[in-house]
Amino acid sequence: MTNHTISILSILIQDLPVGTNLALLHFLWMMASGALLPSRGAIFPALKSIGLSDAAMRRAWVAFRKGMWQMPAILILWREHVKSQSGWKERRYEGYLPVTIDVTAFWRPALKRCPGKHYHPGAGRALPAVIFGITGDVGEINGQRLALPRAFERVHPKDHSEKRLWKEMLKKMKKDLKVDEIAVIDAGMHISDLQAAGIDRYVLRLATNFTARRNYLLAHILGRKPTYGLSIRPLSRKHKGKTIKSTTADETYTFLEDGREIRAEVWRKLILNKIVPGADNKTFDVYAIYDPDFDQPWLLATSVTLKPESVRAIYKDRWPVEQIPLSAKQMVGAHRQFVHNSESVQRLPELALLVGSVLSFVAATFPALPTGFWDREPKRTPGRLRRQLAGKSFPKDDQISGRLREKKSVTGHLPKGNLARNQKTAQTAPT
């Protein structure tokens, strides 16, 4: 298992410059083996724990901080490798492939000039954090759903706000979304944001107090002529002790899922509030899905006419994208970070997200490994895989083949660091 994980990591960095590729492989293995957990996020003790020499540790640090590599190119290689596996299958519904969009944050409350803030539910307010956007399409291997990342988006260098990040992500999604793909987004975004970005295929989670309007005017009888369509409230709510009833659905469906009866109510061809009805308006459908396993119904909006079963399944396929940051933080141990250089602050979370995705994939391709005798029904999870890799040293460099090798420098015989400076000072000192 160790060799298999290292071979996959090697595929991602083998085309980098000689020397940088081996040093970055050392760094990636340090993260994949969970060495950051016992060192509580300290990088050099973690590199030391996998059996590297002092010189190799320095090379790994330099490759991480200053190496000539870019995450988009590495993600392309990662996607090509996963899609080349015989067991990988895309999850499509009525011909559409779900493409998920999400935002995650690596908390850095003590970092000076932290590039961003993100709401922390425990603190109840926004805290300094390094924010990343994650996009990926959903597939499965060995019956396990996985989100295959397409991009890890950084915040804008001049505008670190999460609002600007979402705007840039939606703009790029509009450019990259294919005709047989549909964007899947959790609550937090609004339909108006998607329409402004020009995204015309989406499934979006709505707030429970969401309202919309019909795309036509009621017949004028008395009084002022109506300007807007009839208001539609999919779910009832209470306001000042009074219950505001919901609007009767246009269509009602029931279907079975895992032995449970799911009920769906649908409202067709709606428009946003404060939009005058017209033939050129962008319309959408709203689905209220009642599942007995949940206290509150799901309120979903989509611009594509789909079956209720497909809308529910597409939204459920948004969940695997949340496993990537979970694996990167809690499983790998990158939730604690102590780098301060502006580029390192961005690169370390990027590598953590990449390693989290790799661990999830490798775990899904191997048989489930129990943690101990108490683990009677083990699952193929990245946490169990990481526990199997914990404490494993990196194999000797002479066992790594191909372009993965140390670059022999022609200046290797010269003194380095303070020794070189002291020698230069001694040579130029007056006699």
Sole residue written with tokens 């895989």:
385
Side chain identity, residue 84: S
Q: Can you tell me the distance from the alpha carbon of 318 to that of 95, in angstroms, rounded to the nearest whole number? A: 17
- Six-digit token string for 187: 């609550």
Phi (first) and psi of residue 17, to 5 degrees: -55, 145
- Asked whether residue 184 carries a pLDDT value surpassing 90, the answer given is yes
Q: What's the token pair of residue 132?
A: 């990343």
Q: Sign of the C-alpha dihedral, residues 294, 295, 301, 304?
A: positive
Token pair listed for 272: 């946003």
**Residue type (1 letter), 353:** L
Where in 197-259 does DSSP place strands (E)?
A: 202-205, 212-214, 231-232, 237-239, 242-244, 251-257
- pTM across the whole model: 0.88
Could you tell me which residue, 222 or 75, shows the higher pLDDT? 75
Bridge-based pairing state of the strands 89-90 and 125-141: antiparallel
The label of the residue with tokens 């410059």 reads 17
Choice among 147-161, 165-179, 359-373 with the minimum mean pLDDT: 359-373
Are 360 and 382 contacting, i.e. CB atoms less than 8 angstroms apart?
yes
Per-residue pLDDT averaged across 329-342, rounded? Answer: 91
- Indicate the range of 104-113, 327-336, 413-422 predicted with least confidence: 413-422
User: How do residues 272-318 score in pLDDT, each as one tens digit?
Assistant: 998 999 989 999 999 999 999 999 999 999 999 999 999 999 999 99
Q: Which two tokens stand for residue 166?
A: 């979402």
End-to-end CA distance of the chain: 63
Please state, in angstroms and rounded to a whole number, the distance separating the CA atoms of residues 359 and 362. 5
Which residues partner with 109 through β-bridges? Answer: none
Longest dimension (CA), the chain: 107
Average pLDDT over residues 77-98: 94
Considering only CA atoms, which of 322, 323, 319, 325 is closest in space to residue 107?
325
CB burial readout 377-387, b (16+ within 10 A) else e: eeebbbbbbbe
Check: CB of residue 132 under 8 Å from CB of residue 153: yes
Give percent of the chain above pLDDT 70.
93
The 3-state secondary structure of 316-378, one letter per residue: HCCHHHHHHHHHHHHHCCCCCCCCCCHHHHHHHHHHHHHHHHHHHHHHHHCCCCCCCCCCCCC
pLDDT digits (tens, 9 = 90+) for 23-64: 999 999 999 999 999 999 999 999 999 999 999 999 999 999
pLDDT of residue 85: 92
Strand 242-244 and strand 284-290: the pairing is unpaired
Which residue did the predictor score with more confidence, 352 or 417? 352
Confidence (pLDDT) at 15: 87
Locate 376 and state its tokens: 């009677």
pLDDT confidence of residue 284: 96
Helix (H) or strand (E) holding 153: strand 144-154
Pairing of strands 298-302, 97-107: unpaired
Q: What gap in Å lies between CA 209 and CA 232, rounded to an integer?
A: 11
pLDDT at 3: 82
Q: How confident is the model at residue 251 (pLDDT cuts 50, 70, 90)?
A: very high
Cβ–Cβ under 8 Å, residues 400 and 22: yes
Query: What gap in Å lies between CA 283 and CA 303, rounded to an integer?
Result: 7
Mean of pLDDT over the chain: 89
Task: Quote the CA–CA distance of 133 and 118 in Å, as a whole number.
Answer: 12
d(CA 56, CA 54): 5
Could you read off the pLDDT of 357-415 as tens digits, one per residue? 999 999 999 888 888 889 888 888 888 888 888 888 888 765 566 667 777 666 666 67
Quick one: pLDDT at residue 429?
56
Question: What is the rounded CA–CA span in Å between residue 17 and residue 122?
Answer: 43
Helix (H/G/I), strand (E/B), else coil: 308: helix
